[in-house]
Amino acid sequence: MSTWKDRLAWLRALPLPIPAEADMPSAVAEIEAASYFGGKPESVIFQKEASLGEAYEITKTASGYTIRGGETGLLYGVYALIFAMETHEPFPRGLHKPCYALRMLNCWDNMSGDIERGYAGRSLWFEGGRLSWEADRIRELGRMLGWAGINALCVNNVNVRGEAHRLIEEDLGELARLAEALRPFGVRLMASIDISQPMLHGIPTADPLDGRVIDWWRERAEAVYRAIPDLAGFVVKADSEHRPGPFTYGRTHAEGANMLARALKPFGGALVWRAFVYNCQQDWRDTATDRPKAAYETYAPLDGQFDDNVILQVKYGPFDFQVREPLSPTFYAMPRTQLALEVQLAQEYTGHQIDLYAMNPLWREIGRALPEGRVRHVAAVSNLGRDENYFGHPFAAANLFGFGKFAWDPETDPEDTLRRWARLTYRLPGPQEDALVRLLAGSRGVYEKYTAPLGLCWMVQPHVHYGPSPEGYEYDAWGTYHRADRYAVGIDRTAAGTGYTLQYPPEVRARYETLESCPDELKLFFHRLRYDYRMADGRTLIQRIYDDHFEGYEEVEDMAAALRGLDLPEPDRSVALERMDRQLRNAREWRDVVNTFFHRLSGAADEKGRKIYD
Amino acid sequence: MSTWKDRLAWLRALPLPIPAEADMPSAVAEIEAASYFGGKPESVIFQKEASLGEAYEITKTASGYTIRGGETGLLYGVYALIFAMETHEPFPRGLHKPCYALRMLNCWDNMSGDIERGYAGRSLWFEGGRLSWEADRIRELGRMLGWAGINALCVNNVNVRGEAHRLIEEDLGELARLAEALRPFGVRLMASIDISQPMLHGIPTADPLDGRVIDWWRERAEAVYRAIPDLAGFVVKADSEHRPGPFTYGRTHAEGANMLARALKPFGGALVWRAFVYNCQQDWRDTATDRPKAAYETYAPLDGQFDDNVILQVKYGPFDFQVREPLSPTFYAMPRTQLALEVQLAQEYTGHQIDLYAMNPLWREIGRALPEGRVRHVAAVSNLGRDENYFGHPFAAANLFGFGKFAWDPETDPEDTLRRWARLTYRLPGPQEDALVRLLAGSRGVYEKYTAPLGLCWMVQPHVHYGPSPEGYEYDAWGTYHRADRYAVGIDRTAAGTGYTLQYPPEVRARYETLESCPDELKLFFHRLRYDYRMADGRTLIQRIYDDHFEGYEEVEDMAAALRGLDLPEPDRSVALERMDRQLRNAREWRDVVNTFFHRLSGAADEKGRKIYD
């Protein structure tokens, strides 16, 4: 039986495995070129210029192509060239360099082998508390990441659990072998660390200003860089959701991060510090505390205090990867700090790689909202797993590929990216390719319609985060409330309410502050509205909710019909159709539960007389 | 440090361990008597009459006592005598025999060592997939069960998981040793079996009418009874919550149960068949299906078809151990079937052995509602675990003790039983003993006040079943809906509604059918009511809900004060106080969440102006 990887163009174009002696990207570049162009008239000349780094330039010569680039640039250049050939696009002229310096995948893989919020099987490199991987598959993975232009991989869960501290201690040798396997593809490893790790070694504190702690980390960093000289750095989640952190010792996050950054500095490593800090023991009765304000409140005052190799990683929205959130105000507030944008490929809140949810349209919005030049790095929570097709849903591969394209050039048209992925992967007849691209490009809007309305967020099944539960997080400790009653729904986050909007610069604030200027899709994020509130198009809020949910389900039916019309190869076709059946059930459940929930509260009838259950 | 067992009178009265050579209850009886009365002038004469079985009669003689009884009756007689001496009660005159023949503890212990719905630590006899127990502790447990008058122990979870099939196969020898350890205390083992077990042995079906299946079970029963000649029988949960069963093969539950019963019959074993069958894949949109109707619909038509050694075990209410349910109509419907009443000591829905919830008042109500003479057996889901005090909360021991007393005489006054337990256990000064008894006797009413109102059920946190979640099970597949909207709440289960009341005999039905005659505490079980419905006392429904929840919390505060006034020994005092703190937090959460939930829906203000959060 053919497998997904047999057919996926960006893996299939060249034979595997890459010889083991190809231990650097430029060597892989030559092998890839020889293999691809070997049977064709064109020849490829490589001009390595170390200073170009990841950048490349391709020029057409009389007999072929010249690729000029740095060590990794040559590899990216070859892939770009093959890419253009395979998709029959004009080859990419001019100097190409990535927009974002660090383009990282954050893998939430536990040493046990399971993956937090993983929807594509078990870990590709952990099992039973150890590193455990198939060499061929890791090379294939490296190549996939190289194709996508992703240059760093944080191997373990930011919630460092169980034996994961061993990664940079006893298991360092094995981790170095994993680094070696990925290095030829321009992928550098990172590791999530536990800030309390010195306490496992007889040091009675993890206070970042304690000399013993400082020494322990300095020595540990030395040992780690002896084993993995090109490690991209460490990732830390501290003082968040029950993780230990500097607050325990009355220190700031700048003090905590800088201590670790200084240990990495001599080796060129970065310290990535996640800004996902909020009170996860909130009382729902407390209406003064507003979770979206938390990251800004914690970090904005620290701007300028972080060392230059600290990267503060900020989730795109102020909540947590919800379907619709405004850009986090933290991005505007820290001009003197290195910032990374964090997105999530794993479809935690966006359909579990069962429902279709192509992310490039979302990222383009985010990219356009980001203040110019302020963010230099990007990270994505991985959607990879040990499933045969790596992603659970074969189309979820488009999100990994698309993330790489976004990280190189955020201005790329999302539909172009989806079309390129589709073409590389399936080579369908033109009208079918169009249909597939439409299906993907529209998938986020459809998902948004049938789930929580207009930026309300959090109406998901607790813990699982798949399927509707309108009050699932309503009385919980996570700061996730909509406070729907018989008259109205939503939290007033304007200056007159929780004051969240005050965290934005004036021009952004003005847009969200008034109901008239606030875009519809975020109205319930920023405002508390009566069900009879009239939207700009004249519909009441409650009617808009009903309409969206009826339409959303119908649009999934249209998607299912479109999918059935595609001549996809097996097993992709069967897998995609089976998952579409589940998406239909899920969308129906969302439609009916959300409509019934608001109908029970509001008592409002649907103007079009459609069925709302009692 | 003293431990709980050092101080618990019904374990402490006599030294442990009972010598291993005491392999039968009458031998234990003699040792207990010799030990207890050894230093005192009284002497005890035993007259064994096998035909008396578990019954006993004690008479006072010039120099002491004569106990006449069967093999186990002698043991129960000694314990009753010591009991009376210890509590300074008049010794029990006349012939005593238990009301219920089988008085079983259903342990939901998994072979892994965890306990489904266990709140007192890990299993006392399973760990890591094997039987694993401390001999001394099992003897102590046996003695505790003997004191309580419980005569059967089903060792493993009715949800037979993992390796549990090994219990009656490879691990039979070890199970026989456990039976041996408990036999001297009049406790016979039972085992939960998986009806599909023959399929692990190359038989391609578990059809109860298939000759190979019948043979397999007959041979298996022979082997089991060779190892454990006094096994009380097997327990089966079939066709329920994803368990396999006869429905798979188009057979009735009578056919399934009888096949197994016939395998046990030659050895005097009983086949206990749980009647907990309902559609756990219900669609919340479906208002015709009503889960409480399920057991009656499945079993009532089978009355008369079960063999005489089949015992149909029926939960007391038609749902699942909720705080307030009417008696299951199945008890009235099967005069030609051996029935067992099932209750739950494990506080799954009743406070997790954190909140106080003494059950004797509940059981007396149930006992009085049961049709006369129709139910001959009783089973209770165990609340035991490996915690030092066996129960998590030291007062939860009263439920095990009280269950035994109920099983011997359902008419015993609940307060008397609680007082006896309190006196045996703590020997507090009179006013303190009174306070403790009041605390326990009132605990169920208090718990009922601050949780789901008036028989509404199911407003708990899904899965966990501790803490409030008004809509946690509202859109789920378990058949657990209240359909609260802005006007009204509850399901109409009368003849005009789902017709559930039609399952009762006319005199019972009449009571529930009309709003006027339906007791307040069950009004929302049977009826759908508007929030402005006037109760008999003139209060509106919504006001009654608010009042109950405010009062419930205040009553927990009173309980906490009463508890602080008791001179309990340590560690009981600390454990009870710490758990009371958690009960206070829990009651406050319930009060506020339930009040807010209904306030948001109804918009009704509290007439007394107390704080209801928005």
d(Cα A320, Cα A84) in Å, to the nearest integer?
36
Q: Residue range B574-579: average pLDDT? A: 97
What pLDDT score was predicted for residue A42? 72
Task: Report CA torsion sign: A514, A519, A521, A525.
Answer: negative
Q: Residue range B314-333: average pLDDT? A: 97
Give the pair of three-digit tokens for residue B127.
Answer: 């760990």
Closest residue in A to B461 (Cα) is A472
Backbone angles phi, psi at B85, to 5 degrees: -65, -45
Residue A200's alpha-carbon distances to A91, A165, B20, B541, in angstroms, are 54, 9, 46, 58
Collapse the DSSP code of A79 into the 3-class scheme (helix H, G, I; strand E, B; otherwise coil) and give the result.
Answer: helix
Chain B positions in Cβ-Cβ contact with residue A597 (cut-off 8 Å):
471
Run of H or E residues at A233: strand A233-236
Q: Could you give the percent of chain A with pLDDT greater than 90?
A: 86
- Contact between A197 and A69 under an 8 Å Cβ cutoff? The reply is no
d(Cα A317, Cα A448) in Å, to the nearest integer?
16
Query: Smallest CA–CA separation between B495 and chain A, in Å?
Result: 20
Per-residue pLDDT reduced to its tens digit, A111-157:
999 999 999 999 999 999 999 999 888 988 999 999 999 999 999 99
Tracing tokens 């579990």 back to the chain, one arrives at: A352
Q: Residue range A538-547: average pLDDT? A: 98
Among residues B373, B388, B382, B457, the alpha carbon closest in space to that of B187 is found at B382
Q: Residue range B583-607: average pLDDT? A: 98
Among residues B439, B440, B477, B473, the alpha carbon closest in space to that of B457 is found at B473
C-alpha Rg value of chain A to the nearest Å:
25
Collapse the DSSP code of B428 into the 3-class scheme (helix H, G, I; strand E, B; otherwise coil) and give the result.
Answer: coil
What pLDDT score was predicted for residue B136? 85
Per-residue pLDDT reduced to its tens digit, B64-108:
899 999 999 999 999 999 888 888 888 788 999 999 999 999 999
- Residues near B373 by Cβ (< 8 Å), separated by ≥ 6? none
Cα angle A11-A227-A177, degrees, rounded to a multiple of 5? 30
Cα angle B598-B600-B603, degrees, rounded to a multiple of 5? 90
Among residues A214, A447, A420, A285, the alpha carbon closest in space to that of A353 is found at A447
Mean model confidence pLDDT for chain A: 94
Catalytic residue, candidates B241, B308, B416, B532: B241
Among residues B294, B291, B285, B298, the alpha carbon closest in space to that of B337 is found at B298
d(Cα B269, Cα B266) in Å, to the nearest integer?
8
Collapse the DSSP code of B448 into the 3-class scheme (helix H, G, I; strand E, B; otherwise coil) and give the result.
Answer: helix
pLDDT at A170 > cutoff 50: yes
Chain A positions in Cβ-Cβ contact with residue B475 (cut-off 8 Å):
468-470, 589, 593, 596
What pLDDT score was predicted for residue B2? 41
Q: Could you give the percent of chain B with pLDDT greater than 90?
A: 86
What pLDDT score was predicted for residue A10? 56
Q: Could you give the percent of chain B with pLDDT greater than 70?
A: 97
Q: Tell me which of A7-11, A178-182, A295-299, B390-394 is least confident.
A: A7-11
Query: Rounded to an integer, what is the distance from CA B194 to the centroid of its chain?
Result: 22
Per-residue pLDDT reduced to its tens digit, B491-527:
999 999 999 999 999 999 999 999 999 999 999 999 9
pLDDT at B125 > cutoff 80: yes
Q: Does A592 touch chain B (CB under 8 A)?
A: yes
What pLDDT score was predicted for residue A15? 57
Collapse the DSSP code of A314 into the 3-class scheme (helix H, G, I; strand E, B; otherwise coil) and give the result.
Answer: strand
pLDDT at B165 > cutoff 90: no
d(Cα B39, Cα B36) in Å, to the nearest integer?
7
Residue B327's alpha-carbon distances to A200, B293, B388, B453, B465, in angstroms, are 56, 12, 35, 18, 22
Mean model confidence pLDDT for chain B: 94
What pLDDT score was predicted for residue A88? 84
Within 10 angstroms of residue A56's Cβ, the number of other Cβ atoms is 27
- B10: region left, alpha or beta (phi > 0 left; psi from -120 to 50 alpha): alpha
Omega prior to A17 cis, within 30 of 0: yes
Q: Residue range A371-398: average pLDDT? A: 95
Q: Residue range B590-613: average pLDDT? A: 98
Q: Does A490 touch chain B (CB under 8 A)?
A: no
d(Cα B311, Cα B422) in Å, to the nearest integer?
34
Per-residue pLDDT reduced to its tens digit, A415-445:
999 999 999 899 899 999 999 999 999 999 9
Give which of A284, A586, A600 to mutate to test B binding, by max B Cβ within 10 Å: A600
Within 10 angstroms of residue A570's Cβ, the number of other Cβ atoms is 11
**pTM for this model (two decimals):** 0.94
Strand segments, DSSP code E, in A467-585 are: 488-489, 529-530
What pLDDT score was predicted for residue A278? 86
Our answer to whether residue B320 is catalytic in this structure is: yes
B-contacting residues in A 200-229 (Cβ below 8 Å) = none
Q: Does B592 touch chain A (CB under 8 A)?
A: yes
What pLDDT score was predicted for residue A1? 35
Task: Considering only the beta carbons, identify the residue of A462, A593, A600 that sits closest to B485.
Answer: A600
Cα angle A300-A301-A307, degrees, rounded to a multiple of 5? 85
Backbone angles phi, psi at B255, to 5 degrees: -60, -40
Chain A positions in Cβ-Cβ contact with residue B468 (cut-off 8 Å):
475
Per-residue pLDDT reduced to its tens digit, A213-249:
999 999 999 999 999 999 999 999 998 877 789 999 9
Omega prior to A571 cis, within 30 of 0: yes
Backbone angles phi, psi at B597, to 5 degrees: -55, -50
What pLDDT score was predicted for residue A13? 54
Chain A positions in Cβ-Cβ contact with residue B471 (cut-off 8 Å):
469-472, 597
Cα angle B131-B133-B138, degrees, rounded to a multiple of 5? 125
Backbone angles phi, psi at B254, to 5 degrees: -65, -45
Q: Tell me which of A97-106, A276-285, B329-338, B398-407 is least confident.
A: A276-285
Q: Does B611 touch chain A (CB under 8 A)?
A: no
Number of helices and strands in chain B (H, E): 18, 16
Omega prior to B17 cis, within 30 of 0: yes
DSSP B217-266: HHHHHHHHHHH-TT--EEEE--SSTT---GGGGT--HHHHHHHHHHHHGG
Collapse the DSSP code of B110 into the 3-class scheme (helix H, G, I; strand E, B; otherwise coil) and give the result.
Answer: coil
Burial class from Cβ neighbours inside 10 Å (0-12, 13-18, 19+) for residue A225 reads middle
Among residues A190, A159, A155, the alpha carbon closest in space to that of A311 is found at A190
What pLDDT score was predicted for residue A89? 83
pLDDT at B35 > cutoff 90: no
> In chain B, what is the greatest distance between 2 CA atoms, to the nearest angstrom?
74
pLDDT at A522 > cutoff 70: yes
Backbone angles phi, psi at B6, to 5 degrees: -65, -30
